Each structure stands twice: as structure tokens, then as C-alpha cells.
Amino acid sequence: MDTLTATTFDLTTTPLRDVNAALHADGVSGEYVVTGPSGTHNIAVGVNAPVKITVDGHVGYYAAGMNQQAEIVISGNAGTGVAENMMSGTVVVAGNASQSAAATAHGGLLVVHGDAAARCGISMKGVDIVVGGDVGHNSAFMAQAGRLVVRGNAGDGLGDSIYEARLYVRGDVGALGADCVAKEMRPEHVEELAGLLKAAGYEDDPAEYTRYGSARRLYHFRAHNTY
């Protein structure tokens, strides 16, 4: 981003409500820098325009939530629910993300270059998530669609009650959740994973990863379960 041409908002002097209102204005365009976040919640939520936003520091809860079209970069760590319910666009976290990153997100790409805590990608509905480090327990719980790539390790309960999302993990998995199993890496999955890694700025060998997905055992009613 060219900071010389970007519009800058300083949260130490400008109320967050005014910053978000400016980012929601009709016809908004260009590049923006938000300084002095100091863990403030709800920064750059609900943006629906092809703008570029850099948040210079750590953010609190729900940063970049409900994002559409925007390219948002957070230069520090992010609190609970970063990119929650994102529809499109790109959100990049340079540091770590707290729990429930990209919860219920329908589209777009979330990149967390550090670790992501528990329930990363919970109930994801089409988003792509690439985590540079580890993810915590119950990540991709009830994940319905989309792809989660973990370059490090995954905690217990990975993919519990998963639907049709695809998970790729390079490291160890503490324990798989209900109905989540390791699956064959076919050529189309290798190609898909290579594309996701490249989009996030990584050049890992896809052969180092294991694919996980639904065994589809929970799709069907079984009469003996009623007794």
C-alpha cells in the first residue's frame, strides 16, 4: 500500500464510529490506514467496497467482520471472531488470531500468519482459511464448505461433525472429531492446496500435507440409535 496516497485515520483522536462510517460511505474507494487501534473492537466491520485497508497494530473482537470485497491487512494480532461471517475479499493477520476466526464465513480468503486459537473456521460455509502456524481445539467444527489449510499442528476435535469442507494439515492432529477422517490426496487436491498456499504467500510442498474430510456417517438416520 502507498501510504503517501492513503487516507489515514488515527483512533487515538478519531472515534471508531466515524472511521467505520467513512468506510461504509457510498462510493468509497482507494486506500486507508487505521493507526492507534490498541485492541479496539469492531474495526473495519461491514465493509462492502473494493478498498484496501491496513490496520497498524493489534485489534480486538470481530475485526473485519462481514467483509465484502475489501482487502484488509492487520499488522498485529487479532481478537475473537476476526473475519466473522466474511462474504468475499481478503483479510490478512500478520500475527496470531484468537478463537473463532472466520466463524460462519461464506467466502473470501483469511490468512493468519501466526497461530489461530480454538474453533478456527467453526461452521465455515465457503471461506478459504490458511493458518501459518497451529490451530486450537475444535477447529472446523461443523464446517459445511470451504477449505482450511494448517501449516502447523491442529488441536483435538478437528473437523468434528464436518460436512463437505476440506481440511489440509501439515503437522500433527491431536485427535479427529466425530465423523472426520484422513482422506486420499488426489491430483485435484494437490493442485487445490498448492493454489491456496500460493495465494497466502507460501511455497510448501503439498506432499507434506494430509487431507481430512467427512466420513459421511452422520448423514444418515440409523434406527438403532433410537433405542
Q: Provide the residue ranges of all domains of the chain, joining segments of one domain with +.
A: 7-217
Which pTM was predicted? Answer: 0.94
**Residue 219: predicted pLDDT:** 66
Q: Is the pLDDT of residue 220 over 70?
A: no
**What are the tens digits of pLDDT across the range 54-66?**
999 999 999 999 9
Q: Is the pLDDT of residue 221 over 60?
A: no
Please report how many Cα atoms fall inside a 13 Å half-sphere around the Cα of residue 73, on the Cβ side: 10
Q: b vs e for 110-132, b when ≥16 Cβ sit within 10 Å of the residue's Cβ?
A: bbbbbbbbbbbbbbbbbbbbbbb
**Residue 5: predicted pLDDT:** 85
Q: Is the pLDDT of residue 139 over 90?
A: yes
**What are the tens digits of pLDDT across the range 71-98?**
999 999 999 999 999 999 999 999 999 9
**What are the tens digits of pLDDT across the range 187-197?**
999 999 999 99
**Residue 222: predicted pLDDT:** 59
Average pLDDT, the chain: 95
**Residue 217: predicted pLDDT:** 85
**Residue 2: predicted pLDDT:** 56
Percent of the chain at pLDDT > 70 equals 94
Lookup: cell for 110: 483469511
**pLDDT bucket at 1, cuts 50 / 70 / 90:** low
**Residue 226: predicted pLDDT:** 54
Percent of the chain at pLDDT > 90 equals 93
Domain 7-217 class in CATH: mainly beta
Q: Is the pLDDT of residue 138 over 80?
A: yes
